[in-house]
Amino acid sequence: TFTLSPSDNLSNYTSYKTIVTTAVKDSSGNTLSSQYESSSITTVNTEIRVVVIYPVDRQSYGWYMGGADNETFIKSAISRTNAIWESQDVGGNMTLAGHKSIDFSSYSSASSSGWKADLNSALMNHTDTSIHQELQDNLTSIMDEYSADCLIYWRAYGDNGSSASGASEIGADKNRCLM
């Protein structure tokens, strides 16, 4: 048995392999009869910093939040998600990097559907730079402001955005997560 203690944190999303040569000796001075090579492991980001955005008129939706303020409600939702992930052995842990209300009504390229519908489109098509680039730039700026790994748009059903019933593809890659 041996323990590896890296001198610095390992990089996220990076493959590592351990090689122990025959020059290594145990406490009695014995060497390995052959070199040992581990299978490759890939590190993952175990802490996912999220920033939550929501429309400035969110309070008018009458969402049932049990009387909680936005931050308390968001932290509770994150805590429930972390508990589910832990019970399913998913790995990872979300932490709240921050939250803020948004109003992109002055968005210059808004479609006739309105900025909320455009925002949903920008979130789900973030790799297509021809779609709502101005909104995508704003989302990236918010993520950078909070040093967040993931941005979550918290909205009410029927807020002039496209309906969301059931699962949909979430725009994400190893450097950017938008939901």
User: CA-CA distances (angstroms) from residue 95 to 63, 107, 122, 134, 139?
Assistant: 23, 30, 24, 27, 18
Predicted pLDDT of residue 17 = 87
Whether the model pTM is above 0.85? no
Q: What is the pLDDT along the chain (179 residues), one digit of tens a residue?
A: 677 888 877 776 677 888 889 998 888 999 888 998 888 776 665 788 999 988 877 654 444 555 667 888 889 889 988 888 878 767 678 899 999 988 888 877 767 777 777 777 777 776 666 767 888 888 889 999 999 988 888 876 555 555 544 334 444 454 556 55
